[in-house]
Every structure is written in C-alpha cells, then in structure tokens.
C-alpha cells in the first residue's frame, strides 16, 4: 500500500536519510524503531510530504501505486487526512486551542467528502464514540484545553481515522503519556487496524512497545535501516549488532555487588533512617471558583510517611500528577509541608534554623530529568559544578577547583571539561555533569527526579551503571523517582507506589512488581511494556 | 566583545543600524566642539535659504544654519531618550524581577500598578507635569521615563517567570541560595538579551516621543535647538520653505530607523534559539 | 465567562480610581497655591481668595477629592476659570472631534495592517514581503505629526486636494466634516499600521510553526486554508494586545495632530488651558482621556474572550 524505496533526504546540506526502503500492507503494523537522530520521524514526514523547508528528497514513495515524491500540493492535499493520515507525539499542542474538537474532527470530513456540516458532525460524533469519548460526556463543543492529554490523543486518533485511511502513520503517539494511557491508546490503535484493514506505521524509541504491537520491524540508525524483518524474528534471533545493543540496553540491569539495603533489616539492626518524613501533607490553593468562593485546596501530598536509610535506593513510582515531584521538593526543602515533619539525620527540617538547613542541604543533592534545562547556559562547567559549594563559604578557589575536578572524575569526565559551556556536551554527558554537581558536597542522599527519562536507551544504560557504581563506592542513598518501572526494577532496593498524593503500596522491588496488590500498582505493572513478556506472548501465538 | 561585533556585523540589519547610530552619536558628540555655524547666530539677511554650498541644509527664518541645529538637536534627543530608558530599566527591571520572585499579592499589586501607568501615555503625563511645573526638557524625560517603567517591568517579570521553574534555578535553590542572589546570578543574566533589544526599541520610541513633546511646546525650550521644536517653527512656513520641515523630520526618521534596525539585528544575533542551532 | 468579565470590570474600576487619585494629587502638589498659579503674579489678594473659595480650596483634601470624583461621576466637571463656562460643556463640544478622530484612525490602521500582515506572511520571503517589511520599517520611524506636515504640504498646498486644516463642525454635514478628519486620521493611522502589520505578520509566522498547524496540514488543508482557519485566529491574540496599547497612543496622538490641522478638539483645548493656567480644564481632560483608555482596554479584554476559548471557562 505504502512503499518507500531508496529514499534519501537532505536538509540544507546535512544528509538525513540514506536509501531508506520500507513498505506496509493493509492490516499490517510496521514498526520503525531507533534512537533520537535516527531519522525515523523524518521518514514519516516524507511520506506525508510535510518536510521542513529546505529539504530535498530523492528515491521513490509510492502510495496505492501513485508516486508521491513529485506529487503537487493539490494531489497531496486530496490524499492527506483521507487515505493517508498521521498522528503526532505531543497531544497537548497538536490540537488548535481556539476551535472546538467537533469542528476540528469535522473539518477534515467536510474537506474530503464534501458532506454538509450536519453529516460531518454526525460522523465526528460517531468517531468520538469509537475512540472512547462518548458525546454525552464529551460534547463536540468542547475545546482542547478542557481535555486531558490522553483524551486529546484520542481526539487526534478520531480525527485521523474518521475517513478510514488506508495507512495511518503514528509518530511516537504514546511517548508523552503515562504507561496506563499508553496501553489504552495502543490497544485502540490495534483495534482500528483490525476493523478497517488499515496499514499502521508505528514509530517508537521503545523496543518493548514495538515488540508488543508490530508485525514487521525496521531498526534505524543515523538515517540508515540497519535491521529489518518480522518483529518476532528480529527481536528473538537478534542478529544485527545494533539491534542487540538496543535490546541489551533497554533491559540493562546494573551489577549490585553489595546486598540491597532493606528497611526492615536496617530497622532491626537499629540503624537510624537518613531521612524520615512523618504524616506529610502539602496542600495547594486552587483557582477561586467565583468571586466569593475560594477554591477547594488540592492535596498534592496526603499523609505520606517515608524513611530512607543510609545507602538505600528507594524508588518512587506513579502516574504524572500523583504528587511524586511535590514529595521530592519537600524532601529537598524547596517547599514547606502544610502539615507533618521531615527529619534529616535527626534534625527536624521544618523547624530548623538556616544553619541546620545548610548542613542538611549539603547532604541532600538533586539530579533533574532534563539535562538540557538543568544548567545555566551562560556559565562554564567549573562554575556550574561548583554551585553547591556556595554552602561552604570558607573554601579557597584552588580547593574549589580541585573539588570540581574530583567530582568530574568520579562521573567519568576529565578536567578538560572545566572551561566548556554546557551546550558543548551531549545529553548523556550533561547528565553526568548534573551528577558531578550533586556529588561535590559529598552528600549522603541524592534525589533523582526521572534522571534517565529524557535519554536514549544506550545512554540510559550507561547513566544507570554510573549511578549504581557511585552508590557502592560512595555509600550514597537515592530517592529515585520514575514513571518507568523497568528502570526502577533495575536500580532500586525498595519501591513506593504513589497515587493521588498517597503511598498505596511499598516494599521490596521484586515483590511489588511480581506480585502487586494495590489497584494502582497492578495497573502500572500490567500497562508497562515488557520486551521479554512481549516475546513470550508471541511465542505462544505462533 | 570584538568577536561579538564581528559576528554581528555579518547581520545586515545590525550593520546598517550600527553604522547609522554611530554617525548620529558622532555628530552629536562633534557638536560639542565644532559646528559649521554657531546655532545662536542670527543672520536675518540669509534667512529661509534652501540648501546650498555655504549652508548644506539651508537656513531657518532667523537665518540660523539648519545643519548645525540638527547636530545640536541630536544631542538633546539622545540625552532625553537615553535618560528615559535608564529610568525605565532602573525601576522597571528590579520591580519586574521582584514581582516574579515573590509572586502572590506583591506580584498582583505591582502588575495592577503597571496597568494604571499604562493608561497614561507619555504625552498625557507630560501635559500634567507641564500644567503643574511649567514646560522644560526635564518634564519630557520624566514623562517618557515613567511610561518606560511598566514596559520594562512587564518584560522582565515575564522573562523571570519563565526562568524560575527551570531546573537550573531549582538546582540553585536546592543549594540554598537566596531568591535575591539567584535573581542576580541566574535570572538577570539570562534575560539580558531581551533587555538590550527592548532598550534599543524604547530608545527609538523615546526619540519620537521627545520630538512630539517639543513640537507641541511641552519639551525642550528655546533657545536650545531640538528637532521637534524646529518642526513646530517650520509649520507656518511650509508653503515657501519646505526644507525647514523636511530636514528635521528626516533626521528623526533616520535616527529612529537606525535604532530599530539595530534592535532587530541584535534580536537575531542574540536569539538563543538561533545560537543553539549554530552549535 | 461572567466571572472573567466581572474580574476585569472590577480591575478597570480600581484602575480608574487609582488614576483619579494620581490626577487629583498632581494638582495638590502644585508648588504654591493653585489659585495663585492660575491667576498669575499680578492678581489681587481678593481675587485669589475668591478663586480659592470657588475652587473649594479651603476644604480638607479628602472632602475635595470626593466632591471632585462625585461631580465627575454625574457629569459635573466644575467651572472653567478662563472660559467662564462649565468644563462639561467645553469638553462635550471638543470630544466630538477627538474621539471620532481616534476611532477613525484605529479603524484605518486595522483595515490596512491586518490584510497587509496576512499577505506578507502568506508570501513570506517573496519580493513583496521584503518590500512590505522595508516599508513598514520606515513607517515605524516616521513621527505622525511630521507625516501630517508632509501630507498637508503635498496634498493640500501642492495639489490642493483637501483642506489644509480646520473643522467645519458636524453641522456642516457628516461627509464634509468627515472629509476634514481624513488627513488627520490618515497621518495618525499609517505609522501605527506599520507597527500593527509587522506584529500581525510575525504573530502569524509564529503560529504557523505550531504543532496544530502541522495537524491541519496532515488533515489535507492547503497552506492557505491553514493560514485562514487555524493561524489567523490564534495570531489575533497578540494583535489584540497591541491594538489596546495603540489606542492609548492614538488618543494621545490626536492631541498633537489637532495642532497640525488646527482642529478644535481636546488637544487644542488642553494646550490653551495650559497656557492660560486653567488647571481645572487640564485635570478634567486628562481624566477623561485616561478613562477612555481604560474603557477601551476593558473592551479589548472582552475581545480576548471571543478569540480565546481558554479564557471562557476553566473546568477541566
């Protein structure tokens, strides 16, 4: 149906794609998997002829026998949204905020079928029903801002599938969503493929997702297809070294030489917890409901008890908005709890003097998710990494520099980095810099808020190794926040599952994930794509 | 700095604007030590002469040399507009940063205060001030300067608000740095580009506003020449001495155009998005 | 939606109240006695005392402020000292020139700027776009009163197409009166149109880079259709903001332009009042103009409601 042959692409003078060939048939799901910069999204945009300005493509893209590469605008417009449709990664920005969702779905219908407004809206309503947004709850007059991310992605799917396209291209459709929503959306897509005998091109960075979803698979790297074949075969035999690397990295588990630190054992041994939060509550005021009525306070963190022992790696998982980041901010003393106490090493932080706070701050450092946003772009590495040393005012410039170099070496960087700016480093290196900055005060605890979520799998594995190694060498404790259960399983000793501000389940990682009891944990575990499980299921299918 | 100029001069807007601005500033500076004629010299015999070899841009109704008056007028325009920008930046940026750092009621209050000042265009403030204190160049500076305060306060508040939730600011807070210190170390340097661009624009606007005030008699007073004042005097003589109106107007247009081009060029050169692309 | 409107309305009233305090306070800080300032140095003590009495200067500040404010609310602006008529009559007469002038300028500037901005954005990078942008760059640099002088010189003095100035009054017929406002409003509108068309163009180009534009294209809409149906309305949000600010400039601009064209509007009135030191008139006119600006900004806020549904309600 859609056939790409020897597609090469340049943007300006930069080569992006090199002789890419792939095809998808009706009712088939083709996966394109690769790390960032592999050219998987631009392959899709080539098929839609929606490439950025200054691109030049060669080769051939045939759709239903017609050549698209030199098709004119009118021809492409007739095709787009009718027989060939596409959905995108970011549901929050992909819908026009000033038009109602009904109008946005109906727009394409009227455009392609020439049907009147009434008919188009009727079809739009039917589609909404189909994607799980019944119109009695989600009237067509709703605007995008009144819907959640998952609901918006459903609207996108309704829009793309309203005219039963022959091929749908989905570019990372679930990357911005929580795992439970991801599972729902993927399920919906699979159903639509079967119902409409539609071809689906699913682009993803996640091997587990494509392993669960696709029939055929191509693996891309640096604009080249390096591996291809039926998904089961490709992922089971793993012949190509790059595919092997990807698979290994996405299931990578760092070595743990010392035994895990468990709360139960520590308590029995009489070790005092490093950080101990009791009955923590954090409320936020919400928008006033009217001039005279204040909004109901929103409890982001509700009655949470937390203990982290020296050397322990504590995982914290939950869906976005469940309060994990707020809890982290409370422990970092960036935010003050509405009720409850936090003790660090026996000092009550909520009632501490600035001096006592400084000691605690030296001992609790932080690593954030986005390595691009965590550094002031105008400062050099020496100053950036030294920032927490502000807590030790007596230090001389020489000592400061030595400490920075020491820290850089701990994370595998060298003194040559001192004079560079953050933008001169790759994402993975920047995350190492962030860890170096956290290490410089010799902390006892590092709060890591989704530290590897923004990284490609191979880099992710390296950073996880580094975190594991530092933990053993320096006796660090981690509060490791993630929405990705596989990473938590790989690194953490114990885990807490959070839902709607409360901790609903806690315990040893393997026990919780193999045998979840709370509703939230069960949902999380079931929704998380798992490469091994997916391949197992395939085995039984075949 | 030299590196920066080299890159920046590759930008056509910046290069043009930079050259025009340099020429205007040079003329204004030169007027302190040399002008073709003394601007207080009245030469009634040579009045209303169109441009010629002896008077490059002609003479006015008192026979004064217009070119010399333009040079001295540039001094006045630059001084008024510059001080007005300094007032705007000096009060506006700290206020905006403070509002962003504190949030809540202080933020709300300051922004509402801004709205009030926005309802007083420079001309209305100048009318009030003149009615109370009498006319003069200082009034013009104060009136334009006051109007610049909310402009810079809004801009720096918006920029600061978008910076505060960034991870590198959180990291600084986790290190225990105070909000004031973070503002000085991280917030202000990261909005410097925006402020520079806005300053050139406010500067250009200030020159137009100053001319307007002088034109209606609320700004610089005679005998000091000012471009707006010259236009006012030219008005009744339009039909027989159009050069008297055309020349000062062109001086304003060229100066403002130069500053605007400089601002546009700076925006392109300093835009972090473009910078990032280059790496 | 109602809550949004009410909040804006309350803020507008609060802004007005603060502005009135500022205007009133300005007169309070007149160095020396306002009555003396108004009468000049040759006035007799009796005359000053009489004026003090009639201005109510002997009463306490708060009482005077309240009576001034209360008076204005019911349309009583007090008595002009120099014209010996009520300020209300004076202002009512003049505002029939200034307000139409400002509104006409706003209309012309919008009618020119938005199509021009749309056209330039649609043809981005073309010769026409470059030309338009160069022209607007110059347009921004032109002071409106100088542009007015040039228009008078070329159209009225050289070509004698239109009267050079003056105003026959609305009694002389609507079209005749409107014609004499044409040059003044053009000279106000064109430099503003230059700014507005640049804002329109850049707002459009910015929205054209948004994800939802790509969605619309993926739906099969042509570039042109996406510009009209998806980009324009989103781009109107920043354009509206600028429009609100521009009205303040235009209203202030009328004061200057009236002097170029010898129009007997509020601008002329205020300058005569300043030279005659008739502070009551100055105070009233400034207050009226400020109030108009605040009201127009309220209207702009309501226009946001129409453009941006995100402001209408916030229920998730």
Residue B172 C-alpha, separation from nearest chain C C-alpha, in angstroms: 32
The reply to whether C6 touches chain B by the CB within 8 Å rule is no
CB contact under 8 A, B119 and C273: no
Chosen domain end from C28, C50, C73: C73
C300: region left, alpha or beta (phi > 0 left; psi from -120 to 50 alpha): alpha
* Environment class of C127 (CB within 10 Å of its CB; exposed 0-12, middle 13-18, buried 19+): exposed
Dig out the tokens for A129 from the structure.
């029903």
> Smallest Cβ distance to B175: which of A361, A374, A377?
A361
Compute the residue count for chain B.
Answer: 279
Q: Is residue C78 part of a domain?
A: no
Query: pLDDT by residue (tens digit) across A332-354?
Result: 988 889 999 999 988 888 888 88
Residue C177 C-alpha, separation from nearest chain B C-alpha, in angstroms: 23
Closest among A483, A288, A222 to C7, alpha carbons compared: A288
Number of structural domains chain B divides into:
1
Q: Are strands A477-482 and A313-317 parallel, antiparallel or unpaired?
A: parallel
Q: Is residue A461 part of a domain?
A: yes
pLDDT band at A294 (very low <50, low <70, confident <90, very high): low
Question: What is the pTM for the complete model shown?
Answer: 0.84
Bridge partners, A80 (sequence order): A84
> Residue A89 and residue A87: Cα distance in Å, rounded?
7
Domain span at A430:
262-526
Query: pLDDT by residue (tens digit) across A32-48?
Result: 999 888 999 999 999 99
Residues C59 and C153 in one domain: no
CB contact under 8 A, A291 and C214: no
Residues 6+ apart with CB under 8 A from A85: A160, A161, A163, A165, A167, A168, A169, C218, C219
Residues C62 and C95 in one domain: no
Q: Chain C residues with CB inside 8 Å of A73's CB? A: 222-223
Closest among B130, B212, B236 to C275, alpha carbons compared: B130
What is the DSSP-derived secondary structure letter of residue A259?
P
Chosen domain end from A250, A284, A306: A250
Q: Is residue C26 part of a domain?
A: yes
Closest among A69, A88, A57, A62 to A155, alpha carbons compared: A88
> Smallest Cβ distance to B171: which of A374, A391, A423?
A374
Residues of chain B numbered 170-229 and touching chain C (CB < 8 Å): 204, 208, 211-212, 215-217
What is the three-state SS of chain B?
A: CHHHHHHHHCCHHHHHHHHHHHHHHHHHHHHHHCCCCCCCCCCHHHCCCCCCCCCCCCECCCCCEHHHHHHHHHHHHHHHHHHHHHHHHHHHHHHHHHHHHHCHHHHHHHHHHHHHHHCCCHHHHHHHHHHHHCCCHHHHHHHHHHHHHHHHHHHHHHHHHHHCCCHHHHHHHHCCCCHHHHHHHHHHHHHHHHHHHHHHHHHHHHHHHHHHHHHCCCCCCCCCCCHHHHHHHHHHHCCCCCHHHHHHHHHHHHHHHHHHHHHHHHHHHHCHHHHHHHC
Q: Are A103 and A159 in contact (CB under 8 A)?
A: no
Q: Chain B residues with CB inside 8 Å of A388's CB? A: 174-175
B249: region left, alpha or beta (phi > 0 left; psi from -120 to 50 alpha): alpha
Q: Chain B residues with CB inside 8 Å of A334's CB? A: 170, 173-174
pLDDT band at A288 (very low <50, low <70, confident <90, very high): low
Cα separations (Å) of C140 from A54, A478, B211, C109, C187? 32, 58, 14, 13, 12
Q: What is the pLDDT of residue C316?
A: 32
Q: Are C35 and C52 in contact (CB under 8 A)?
A: yes
Q: Is residue C80 part of a domain?
A: no
Residues A209 and A274 in one domain: no
Q: Where are the beta strands (DSSP E) in A144-274?
A: 167-171, 199-204, 216-221, 224-230
The reply to whether C141 touches chain B by the CB within 8 Å rule is yes
Residues A270 and A210 in one domain: no
Residues C102 and C211 in one domain: yes
> Smallest Cβ distance to B174: which of A365, A369, A376?
A365
Dig out the tokens for A192 from the structure.
């639509």
Interface test with A, best of B4, B108, B167 (most A CBs within 10 A): B167
CB contact under 8 A, B272 and A377: yes
Tell me which of B118 and B248 has the higher pLDDT. B248
Number of structural domains chain A divides into:
2
Residues of chain C numbered 225-284 and touching chain B (CB < 8 Å): 245, 248-249, 251-253, 255-256, 259-260, 270-271, 273-274, 277, 279, 282-283
Q: What is the pLDDT of residue C146?
A: 94
pLDDT band at B239 (very low <50, low <70, confident <90, very high): confident
Domain span at C198:
87-314
Q: Across chain A, what does the average pLDDT equal?
A: 90
Q: Is residue C176 part of a domain?
A: yes
Residues A37 and A145 in one domain: yes
Is the pLDDT at A434 greater than 90, yes or no? yes
Residue C283 C-alpha, separation from nearest chain B C-alpha, in angstroms: 8
Q: Is residue C79 part of a domain?
A: no
Q: Which of A427-436, B83-92, B136-145, C55-64 has the highest mean pLDDT?
A: B83-92
Bridge partners, A84 (sequence order): A80, A167
> Smallest Cβ distance to B260: which of C137, C145, C277?
C137
Residue C137 C-alpha, separation from nearest chain B C-alpha, in angstroms: 7
Residue whose tokens read 């002071």: C143
Query: pLDDT by residue (tens digit) across B166-199?
Result: 888 988 888 888 899 999 999 999 898 889 889 9
Query: pLDDT by residue (tens digit) across A195-235?
Result: 999 999 999 999 999 999 999 999 999 999 999 999 989 99
What does each of the 316 residues of chain C score in pLDDT, given as a tens digit? 677 788 888 888 998 999 999 888 887 777 666 677 677 767 777 877 777 777 777 778 888 888 888 888 887 777 777 777 788 888 888 888 888 999 999 999 999 999 999 999 999 889 999 999 999 999 999 999 999 999 988 888 788 777 777 788 788 888 888 888 888 999 999 999 999 999 999 999 989 888 999 999 999 999 889 998 999 989 988 888 888 888 888 888 898 899 888 888 888 888 888 888 788 888 888 888 899 889 988 888 888 888 888 877 643 3
By C-alpha distance, the chain A residue nearest C305 is A98
Residues A223 and A346 in one domain: no
Q: Chain A residues with CB inside 8 Å of C309's CB? A: 97-98, 100, 143, 145
Dig out the tokens for B214 from the structure.
């002088």
> Smallest Cβ distance to A423: which of B177, B190, B279?
B279
Q: Are strands A275-284 and A339-344 parallel, antiparallel or unpaired?
A: antiparallel
CB contact under 8 A, C3 and A290: yes
Residues C183 and C288 in one domain: yes
Q: Is residue C258 part of a domain?
A: yes
Q: Chain A residues with CB inside 8 Å of C223's CB? A: 73
Q: Are C198 and C246 in contact (CB under 8 A)?
A: no
By C-alpha distance, the chain B residue nearest C34 is B132
Closest among B152, B204, B198, B246 to B17, alpha carbons compared: B204
Q: Is residue C150 part of a domain?
A: yes
Closest among A429, A434, A461 to A448, alpha carbons compared: A434
Domain span at B15:
2-278
Residues C127 and C64 in one domain: no
> Residue A41 and residue A513: Cα distance in Å, rounded?
33
CB contact under 8 A, A390 and B176: yes
List all chains that touch chain C, counting a touch as 3 or more CB pairs closer than 8 Å.
Answer: A, B
> Residue A242 and residue C260: Cα distance in Å, rounded?
77
By C-alpha distance, the chain B residue nearest C33 is B132
Residues C67 and C137 in one domain: no
- The CATH number given to whatever domain includes residue B137 is 1.10.3720.10
Residues C22 and C170 in one domain: no
Q: Is residue A361 part of a domain?
A: yes
Q: Are B97 and B187 in contact (CB under 8 A)?
A: yes
- The CATH number given to whatever domain includes residue C108 is 1.10.3720.10
CB contact under 8 A, B112 and C259: no
Q: Is residue C267 part of a domain?
A: yes
By C-alpha distance, the chain A residue nearest B191 is A378
Residues C156 and C16 in one domain: no
By C-alpha distance, the chain A residue nearest C208 is A96
Q: Residue A137 phi/psi, 5° resolution?
A: -100, -30
Residues C105 and C46 in one domain: no
- The CATH number given to whatever domain includes residue A159 is 3.40.50.300
Whole-complex ipTM: 0.87
Residues A298 and A242 in one domain: no
Q: What is the pLDDT of residue B108?
A: 86
CB contact under 8 A, B133 and C31: yes
Cα separations (Å) of B205 from A20, A70, B130, C135? 55, 49, 21, 18
> Residue C294 and residue C16: Cα distance in Å, rounded?
7
The reply to whether C115 touches chain B by the CB within 8 Å rule is no
Q: Is residue A536 part of a domain?
A: no
Q: Are C239 and C205 in contact (CB under 8 A)?
A: no
Residues C13 and C148 in one domain: no
- Mean pLDDT score, B65-88: 92
Q: What angle do CA C201, C204, C209 make, to 5 degrees?
A: 130
């Amino acid at each position: 149906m859609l056939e790409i042959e020897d597609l090469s692409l340049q943007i300006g003078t930069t080569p992006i794609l090199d002789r890419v060939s792939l095809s998808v048939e009706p009712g088939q799901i083709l996966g394109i998997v690769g790390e960032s910069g592999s050219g998987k999204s631009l392959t899709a945009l080539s098929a839609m002829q929606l490439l950025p300005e200054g691109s030049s493509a060669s080769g051939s893209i045939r759709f239903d026998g017609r050549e698209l590469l030199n098709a004119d605008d009118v021809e492409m417009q007739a095709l787009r949204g009718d027989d060939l449709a596409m959905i995108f990664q970011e549901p929050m920005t992909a819908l026009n905020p000033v038009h109602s969702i009904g109008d946005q779905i109906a727009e394409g219908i009227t455009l392609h079928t020439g049907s009147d407004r009434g008919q188009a809206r009727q079809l739009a309503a039917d589609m909404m029903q189909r994607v799980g947004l019944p119109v009695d709850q989600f009237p067509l007059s709703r605007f995008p801002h009144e819907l959640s991310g998952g609901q918006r992605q459903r609207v996108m799917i309704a829009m793309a599938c309203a005219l039963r396209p022959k091929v749908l291209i989905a570019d990372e459709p679930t990357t911005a969503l929580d795992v439970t929503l991801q599972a729902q959306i993927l399920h919906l897509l699979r159903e639509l493929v079967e119902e409409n005998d539609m071809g689906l091109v699913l682009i993803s960075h996640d091997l587990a997702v494509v392993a669960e979803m696709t029939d055929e698979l191509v693996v891309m790297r640096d604009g080249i297809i390096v591996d291809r074949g039926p998904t089961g075969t490709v992922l089971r035999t793993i012949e190509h070294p790059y595919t092997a690397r990807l698979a290994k990295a996405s299931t990578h588990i760092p070595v743990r030489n010392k035994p895990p630190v468990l709360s139960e054992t520590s308590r029995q041994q009489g070790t005092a917890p490093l950080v101990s939060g009791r009955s923590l509550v954090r409320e936020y005021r919400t928008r006033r409901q009217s001039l005279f009525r204040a909004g109901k306070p929103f409890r982001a963190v509700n009655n949470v008890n937390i203990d982290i022992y020296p050397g322990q790696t504590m995982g914290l998982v939950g869906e976005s908005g469940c309060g994990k980041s707020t809890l982290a901010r409370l422990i970092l003393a960036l935010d003050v709890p509405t009720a409850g106490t936090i003790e660090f090493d026996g000092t009550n932080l909520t009632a501490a003097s600035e001096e006592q706070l400084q000691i605690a701050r030296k001992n609790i450092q932080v690593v954030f998710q986005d390595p691009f946003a965590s550094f002031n772009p105008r400062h050099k590495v020496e100053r950036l990494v030294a920032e927490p040393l502000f807590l030790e005012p007596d230090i001389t410039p020489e000592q400061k520099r030595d400490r920075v170099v020491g820290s850089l070496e701990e994370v595998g960087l060298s003194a040559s980095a001192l004079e560079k700016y953050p933008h001169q480093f790759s994402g993975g290196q920047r995350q190492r810099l962030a860890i170096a900055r956290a290490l410089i005060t010799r902390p006892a605890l590092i709060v890591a808020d989704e530290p590897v979520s923004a990284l490609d799998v191979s880099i992710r594995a390296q950073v996880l190794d580094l975190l594991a190694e530092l933990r053993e060498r320096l006796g660090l404790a981690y509060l490791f926040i993630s929405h990705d259960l596989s990473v938590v399983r790989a690194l953490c000793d114990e885990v807490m599952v959070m839902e709607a501000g409360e901790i609903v389940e806690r315990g040893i990682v393997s026990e919780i994930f193999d045998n979840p009891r709370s509703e939230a944990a069960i949902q999380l575990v079931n929704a998380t794509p798992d490469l091994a499980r997916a391949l197992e299921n395939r085995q039984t299918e075949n | 700095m030299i590196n920066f100029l080299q890159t920046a001069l590759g930008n056509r807007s910046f290069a043009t604007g930079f050259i025009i601005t340099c020429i205007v500033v040079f003329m204004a500076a030169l007027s302190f030590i040399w002008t073709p004629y003394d601007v207080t010299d009245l030469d009634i015999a040579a009045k209303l002469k169109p441009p010629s070899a002896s008077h490059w841009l002609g003479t006015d109704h008192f026979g004064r040399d217009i070119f010399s008056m333009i040079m001295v007028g540039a001094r006045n325009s630059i001084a008024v507009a510059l001080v007005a920008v300094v007032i705007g930046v000096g009060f506006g940026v700290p206020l905006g940063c403070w509002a962003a750092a504190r949030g809540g009621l202080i933020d709300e209050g300051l922004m509402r205060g801004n709205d009030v000042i926005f309802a007083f265009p420079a001309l209305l403030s100048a009318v009030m001030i003149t009615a109370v204190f009498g006319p003069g160049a200082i009034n013009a500076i104060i009136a334009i300067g006051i109007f610049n305060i909310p402009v810079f306060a809004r801009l720096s508040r918006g920029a600061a608000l978008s910076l505060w939730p960034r991870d590198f600011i959180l990291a600084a807070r986790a290190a225990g740095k105070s909000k004031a210190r973070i503002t000085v170390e991280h917030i202000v340097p990261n909005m410097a580009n925006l402020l520079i661009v806005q300053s050139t624009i406010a500067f250009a606007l200030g020159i137009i506003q100053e001319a307007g005030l002088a034109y209606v008699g609320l700004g610089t007073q005679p005998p000091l020449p000012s471009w707006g004042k010259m236009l006012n005097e030219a008005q009744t003589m339009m039909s027989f001495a159009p050069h008297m109106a055309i020349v000062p107007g062109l001086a304003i247009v060229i100066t403002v155009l130069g500053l605007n081009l400089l601002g546009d060029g700076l925006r392109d050169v300093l835009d972090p998005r473009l910078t990032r692309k280059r790496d | 939606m109602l809550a949004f409107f009410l909040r804006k309305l309350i803020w507008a009233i609060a802004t007005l109240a603060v502005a009135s305090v500022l205007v009133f306070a300005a007169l309070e800080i007149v160095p020396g006695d306002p009555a003396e300032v108004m009468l000049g140095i040759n006035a007799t003590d009796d005359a000053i005392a009489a004026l003090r009495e009639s201005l109510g200067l002997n009463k306490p500040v708060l009482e005077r402020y309240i009576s001034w404010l209360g008076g204005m609310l019911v349309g009583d602006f007090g008595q002009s000292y120099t014209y010996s008529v009520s300020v209300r009559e004076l202002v009512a007469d003049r505002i029939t020139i200034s307000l139409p002038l400002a509104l006409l300028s706003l209309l012309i500037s919008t009618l020119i700027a938005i199509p021009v901005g749309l056209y330039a954005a649609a043809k981005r990078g073309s010769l026409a776009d470059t030309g338009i942008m160069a022209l607007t760059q110059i347009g921004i640099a032109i002071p409106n009163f100088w542009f007015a002088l040039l228009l008078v010189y070329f159209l009225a003095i050289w070509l004698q197409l239109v009267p050079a100035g003056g105003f026959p009054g609305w009694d002389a017929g609507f079209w005749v009166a409107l014609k004499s406002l044409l040059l003044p409003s053009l000279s106000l509108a064109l430099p503003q149109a230059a700014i507005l068309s640049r804002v329109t163009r850049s707002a459009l180009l910015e929205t054209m880079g948004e994800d939802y534009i790509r969605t619309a294209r993926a739906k099969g809409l042509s570039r042109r259709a996406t510009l009209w149906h998806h980009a324009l309305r989103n781009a109107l949000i920043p354009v509206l903001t600028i429009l609100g600010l521009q009205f303040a400039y235009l209203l202030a601009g009328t004061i200057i332009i009236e002097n170029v064209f010898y129009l007997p509007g509020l601008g002329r009135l205020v300058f005569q009042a300043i030279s005659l030191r008739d502070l009551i008139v100055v105070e009233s006119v400034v207050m009226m103009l400020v109030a108009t600006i605040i009201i127009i900004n309220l209207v702009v806020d309501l226009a946001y409601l129409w453009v941006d549904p995100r402001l209408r309600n916030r229920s998730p």
